[in-house]
Chains A and B, each alone.
Chain A
């Protein structure tokens, strides 16, 4: 069997796509690849136009092919000869079963019916698909196999509930709540004192032009006509045409003498002089952003919570993740929350995040923001530094980083909704309660409520922080039990062999000689 794989994002475009919705498809493709290679030959194409020629060529050689499209169904081509199957990453309780924008492809039920089967990442999505397609529609739930990738970490590291101290490095920058000078009062301008108000009024008074006496008009006229005659505008730092001075003269020394009608007529005939003046708006000083190209480091210790997310991803609910942490530990100085940001544009979230931290201040606990790129050894140190991983999302199609930290032996704080129902329960997690709420299908331009996501319970999230901290400090054996349970859970859920077995069962294929794979992901989902 030949597997032809395609995703809108590929190795060369991934850096521009960090944090975009389609970007997780790329990680799924990469993660599936070894297991597909164990069952057949894999061809990754860079455009869908390559699919059919390749299919025909292989067919001519007597080989079967299957096109695995790592794109949302509405973007998957419908006119291919090659048998096609979509890999669907989805986090809502229903799939689009109606069309809009006169685009029949928006109705996934048509697309999936045409393909006859589908691969998805979670039981939650499989249920949504079966609800629309019928109970016997063939759906393969295929988690990304990543358990083996963490063998090295597991072999030399035993997860510790209280970190005695470790150094985290990153190519980028680090913001530390302890050194940011956070202050809620700085969020509003300081009201000026009476003296300052008086000084301001005096300053404005001094700026007023002197009254337009005849003498003053003469001075104005002489000045600008002089500038005009000598064409002085050429030698200004920003050169201007000489008529500019006539316009200045007109507006400062003449305009108020004329009626609006006369002015309007003049403006029509002599627009360069009597037309509206172009006021040069001073360009705001460009913001100075920290350098993000150098290696920086920071120390963390105590009970360390880590989360990895893109602040522009609306599902992540990161405001609550941070507020519950800071409220639970506002008097606890050995609790640290590390936010590893998977968004390359610092300006897209910096102000929002810093405002949030200022609104929360003062707090004794510590928040560390890591912006930038972690290489594999640096990432490994982050996995090792964590006491717990935290997720407070409204919905997840899979959540790779949560799985990665669990595979490294980290107990977690997370809700058990959507994809997380497949691997989160009390044995491995402090489960955050959540309630359903209505939402739209993200690609639905009509923005009509058609589906459900979840509203994590803030009080329960705060309690999970408190309970996990207590366990870390007082019940290390319970912590170790939870750590081992997380490893076992990930083994059963996303080790190579069970994933391979699901895949071969679905396609009726026999595994070839085993292939080992190492892929470390830097994905937020």
Chain B
């Protein structure tokens, strides 16, 4: 079998695309690749319009099965190929787009999914949303990016202790540490005093030393779903007088000032506190990223929804229990024994790529007081209940193994492809409504 793969962001463009909306598709492609290679020959193409059908016709002449996996949301997935084309997409809303808008028929995902006849996504939540629109027997499978093996291997070498002791990280980029900042420099303009951060200065290397109970979150601040405001304010309120609690934001973005400015203002707004907040903007070498994972007591997420959440999966695969809401994709791998669950409620919102901002779907808003409770309970476990922490640690590893190991991805994809080629879909006969 030939598996053709493509994502709009690739090795060459990833640097400019860091933190832009569609960049994470490339990471998913990278994580899928080793598994796909066990199932067939894999060819990554850079220009699907010219390459895919040529490769397909070639296979056809040899009698070899061939499928094109487009790591893209359905509205950016081509529907005009002779080659069977499957979108591999992330989604975190209660409904999929089922009407065209902005003059693009493919914005009606149902038309694309009907044309392609099958699809791959990352969570059961999204499988259900697709089947709600497409019918209960629509062929779609939930295969999260298989990150477990790599991170579990790292986790096995770590000590299962809840507290960091003098863990040192080297960071090339910007590090903002609430213990060293003059917060008055980030207040409202008319009250601003003191030294801010010079974003034009050349990137320098910093050493960061972490101690105590470390909460870590890895995210892109311009991704409006992340709700870091609650993550930060609940931390400051709950652990205001706790000196050995630290919240680390590892930020992914293409512009340091844009990434940090708003968060720095919120460090000001939440004052004053004795707990510590560290913002890391910059590249971490693998060894330092591992150090950060090792230093971490808990991985934190307060998002309105997740298509899968790679950083959360990575940290949990290493055994780090989470503080997170059990919504969307996180339903598949969070439970009360590997996470301190944050309560949420529904809220009406728009599909993220709909320029009309028409209200058509639900997202999940955190209950702020429950974020506070989760911080308090997790802090107490880290300090006073190492046994419970060790249980959660072990359970995080096994739950993520079931969710996102290469073995489980391979098994699911194998079965899915087998069904697909047994009952080949007749693609592209039905063109999307123009």
A contact set with B: CB distance below 8 Å: 184-185, 187-188, 190-191, 320, 323-324, 326-327, 358-361, 433, 435-438, 440, 445-449, 455, 457-460, 462
Contact = CB atoms under 8 A, between A and B. Distances in A.
Contact of A187 (B269, B357, B368): B357
Given A435-B368, A435-B370, A448-B268, A324 B356 contact: no
B237 interface: yes
B350 A438 contact: no
Given A187-B356, A455-B368, 8 more contacts: A184-B356, A184-B358, A188-B355, A326-B359, A360-B358, A445-B190, A446-B191, A449-B269
B215 to A, nearest CB: 18
A185 B356 contact: yes
B258 interface: no
B283 interface: no
18 contacts: A184-B356, A185-B356, A187-B357, A187-B358, A188-B356, A191-B103, A324-B348, A327-B348, A435-B343, A435-B369, A437-B230, A437-B368, A438-B368, A445-B188, A446-B188, A446-B191, A457-B345, A458-B348
B347 interface: yes
Interface string B210-251: 000000000000000000001001000100000000000000
B127 interface: no
B345 to A, nearest CB: 4
B58 interface: no
A435 B230 CA distance: 12
Interface in B337-367: 343, 345-348, 350, 355-359, 365, 367
Given A188-B355, A455-B365, A459-B346, A449 B233 contact: yes
A412 B37 CA distance: 61
Contacts of A188: 101-102, 355-356
A327 B367 CA distance: 21
Nearest to B371: A435
Contacts of B270: 438, 448-449
B271 interface: yes
Given A191-B103, A359-B350, A455-B368, A448 B359 contact: no
7 nearest A-B pairs in the assembled complex, by CB-CB distance: A184-B358, A459-B346, A435-B367, A191-B103, A457-B345, A187-B356, A459-B345
B345 A460 contact: yes
B139 interface: no
A484 B356 CA distance: 45
Contacts of A437: 230, 233, 368
A458 B346 contact: yes
A458 B370 contact: no
B187 A446 contact: yes
A185 B101 contact: yes
B188 A447 contact: yes
A329 B269 CA distance: 39
Contacts of B343: 435
A474 B367 CA distance: 33
B369 A359 contact: no
A455 B348 CA distance: 15
Contacts of B369: 435-436
Contacts of B233: 437-438, 449
Nearest to A455: B368
A170 to B, nearest CB: 28
A203 B46 CA distance: 39
Contacts of A455: 365, 367-368
A359 B357 CA distance: 6
Contacts of A457: 345, 367
A436 B356 contact: no
B185 to A, nearest CB: 14
Contacts of A460: 345
Interface residues of B, number: 30
Contacts of A459: 345-347
B359 A327 contact: yes
A450 to B, nearest CB: 10
Contacts of B358: 184, 187, 358-361
A445 B365 contact: no
B17 to A, nearest CB: 25
A185 to B, nearest CB: 6
B365 A458 contact: yes
Given A359-B350, A448-B271, A438 B237 contact: yes
Contacts of B188: 445-447
Contacts of A458: 345-348, 365
Interface in B264-300: 268-271
A190 B104 CA distance: 11
B257 to A, nearest CB: 21
Contacts of B346: 458-459, 462
A57 to B, nearest CB: 44
B303 to A, nearest CB: 16
B272 to A, nearest CB: 9
Contact of B348 (A185, A323, A361): A323
A115 to B, nearest CB: 29
A498 B217 CA distance: 54
Nearest to A360: B359
A320 B362 CA distance: 13
A413 to B, nearest CB: 16
A133 B359 CA distance: 46
A192 to B, nearest CB: 9
A359 B271 contact: no
Nearest to B188: A447
B114 to A, nearest CB: 22
Contacts of B348: 323-324, 327, 458
A358 B271 CA distance: 40
Contacts of B350: 359
A445 B191 contact: yes
A448 B186 CA distance: 11
A292 to B, nearest CB: 29
Nearest to A101: B191
Nearest to A435: B367
Nearest to B183: A448
A324 to B, nearest CB: 7
Q: B270, B345, B350, B367 — which one has the most chain A CB atoms within 10 A of its CB?
A: B345
A38 B227 CA distance: 53
Given A359-B359, A438-B237, A458-B348, A190 B368 contact: no
Contacts of B347: 320, 458-459
Contacts of A323: 348, 359
A446 B183 CA distance: 12
A360 B269 CA distance: 34
A360 to B, nearest CB: 5
Contacts of B190: 445
A457 B367 CA distance: 8
B119 to A, nearest CB: 26
Interface in B151-197: 187-188, 190-191
Contacts of B368: 435-438, 455
Contacts of B237: 438
Contacts of A327: 348, 359
A436 B357 CA distance: 27
A479 B230 CA distance: 39
A255 B359 CA distance: 54
A420 B397 CA distance: 47
B356 A190 contact: no
Contacts of A436: 368-369
A440 B369 CA distance: 17
B356 A448 contact: no
Interface in B314-357: 343, 345-348, 350, 355-357
Nearest to A456: B345
Contacts of A433: 345
Contacts of B230: 437
Nearest to A186: B356
Contacts of B269: 440, 447-449
